[in-house]
Amino acid sequence: MGRTLATRQGWSGGRALLRGWHRLPPPATRQHSRPMAVARAPPGGPAVPAWANQSGARDFVLLGFAHVPALRPLLAALFLALFLLALLGNALIALLPGLDPALRAPMYFFLRQLALVELCFSLDVAPRLLLTLLRPGLGVSPAACALQLLLVLSCVTSECFLLTAMAWDRFVAICRPLRYGAIVSARRCRLLAAACWLAGVPVALVFTIWLFSFPFCGPRGIRHFFCDIAPLLSLVCVDTRVFEAHVLVATVLIMFVPFCLITTSYARILAAVLRMPSAAGRLKALSTCASHLIVVILFYGTTGVIHLRPKASYSPESKQVVSLSYTLVTPMLNPLIYSLRNKEVKAALGRLCGQRRGTHIP
């Protein structure tokens, strides 16, 4: 009797369970309790902000200076000032040789090309940096990120070669002064400038296409204020040792071979200067090289740290500070260095300002 009652209760419970099962919504409308994917920072790094996951699934998010959110408005104002100074100074240096006939020497032709490279560099990096600070979480499409990396690599390569061409110009001017006009001709200067501009394009194209052919996995938060090789490599989920080896070889060829040529040129310049009989001649020769030497030290002292070891153990925050020096600070300082230490540039600026005042006098 008790067994029969228990059996009937089991059947009724089973029928109720089946009826409840049929009332459940279809599988497509059920809510699964899977854990939500959140952005996780690498071990030892600061937490990735929640807005790093709010952009499109394929978009990158620049996390530049995300570790100091309270300082974002102040940093935006500071970087905007540096950006405007870099634009104004380099635009002036680029326009001045065309406005003043006294600045038609090859040295100022190469200086004009350097100012144009710095303008391209600043226009490529600074606007995105300001957007990152003022609108955190703004997504960057892979195409836009690749274009920025392409321009950065191209500008860095062109600047390396331009600085080498400027060192060669100073070497010929001081060590071969009687043949300077024949060696450093206008046609040769134009060919050198075109080679410096174009040499960076194939190198930048190869590494940009190669890097963006890798699969990116996990959250797409780039711990930098622009798309660079090192922070992008940290998002790749396959072995990149072959790529890094090629980056190292390209860095040595593009940066340190020109640096050795510049060093050799200045060693021979110094030897020639020490053989000059008069102190005034030695001072004049050294003064024409001082500005270029300061720019070379500023440029190579910062870019070499970043590009020689793209996946080194430096923290992303320290890399951001070093990168600021050659993306904003150096482009802002170069016009000041060349204008304050060069008497001909200062004289041309004075003549230009005098002409502007004279046009307003009735």
Model pLDDT for residues 162-173, shown as the tens digit of each residue: 999 999 999 999
**Do residues 166 and 96 make contact, with C-beta atoms less than 8 angstroms apart?**
no
Chain mean pLDDT for the chain: 80
- pLDDT band for position 327 (50/70/90)? confident
- pLDDT band for position 341 (50/70/90)? low
Flag the least confident range among 25-29, 65-69, 246-250, 314-318. 25-29
Average pLDDT over residues 27-49: 42
Residue-level pLDDT at 283: 84
- pLDDT band for position 198 (50/70/90)? very high
Average pLDDT over residues 50-70: 71
Residue-level pLDDT at 44: 44
Model pLDDT for residues 233-246, shown as the tens digit of each residue: 989 999 999 999 99
Residue-level pLDDT at 32: 39
Residue-level pLDDT at 298: 85
Residue scoring higher pLDDT (296 or 50): 296
Residue-level pLDDT at 5: 41
Flag the least confident range among 51-55, 218-222, 249-253. 51-55
Residue scoring higher pLDDT (21 or 215): 215
Residue-level pLDDT at 80: 96
What percent of the chain has pLDDT above 70?
Answer: 78
**Do residues 215 and 237 make contact, with C-beta atoms less than 8 angstroms apart?**
yes
Q: How far is CA 345 from the centre of its chain?
A: 28
Residue-level pLDDT at 185: 92
For tokens 């200086």, the residue is 111
**Token representation of residue 337:** 């260095």
Q: At residue 4, does pLDDT exceed 50?
A: no
What percent of the chain has pLDDT above 90?
Answer: 41
Q: At residue 190, does pLDDT exceed 90?
A: yes
Residue scoring higher pLDDT (282 or 115): 115
Residue-level pLDDT at 313: 54
Residue-level pLDDT at 217: 85
Average pLDDT over residues 347-362: 66
Q: At residue 31, does pLDDT exceed 90?
A: no
- pLDDT band for position 307 (50/70/90)? low
Sheet containing strand 60-62, edge to edge, reads 139-140, 60-62, 221-222
For tokens 């009687």, the residue is 178
Residue-level pLDDT at 281: 79
Q: At residue 178, does pLDDT exceed 80?
A: yes
- pLDDT band for position 8 (50/70/90)? very low
Model pLDDT for residues 249-271, shown as the tens digit of each residue: 998 899 889 999 999 999 999 99
SS3 per-residue string spanning the chain: CHHHHHHHHHHHHHHHHHHHHHHCCCHHHCCCCCCCCCCCCCCCCCCCCHHHHCCCCCCEEECCCCCCHHHHHHHHHHHHHHHHHHHHHHHHHHHHHHHCHHHCCHHHHHHHHHHHHHHHHHHHHHHHHHHHHHCCCCEECHHHHHHHHHHHHHHHHHHHHHHHHHHHHHHHHHHCHHHHHHHCCHHHHHHHHHHHHHHHHHHHHHHHHHHHCCCECCCCEECCCCCCHHHHHCCECCCCHHHHHHHHHHHHHHHHHHHHHHHHHHHHHHHHHHCCCCHHHHHHHHHHHHHHHHHHHHHHHHHHHHHCCCCCCCCHHHHHHHHHHHHHHHHHHHHHHHHHCCHHHHHHHHHHHHHHHHHHCC
Average pLDDT over residues 215-241: 89
Residue-level pLDDT at 164: 95
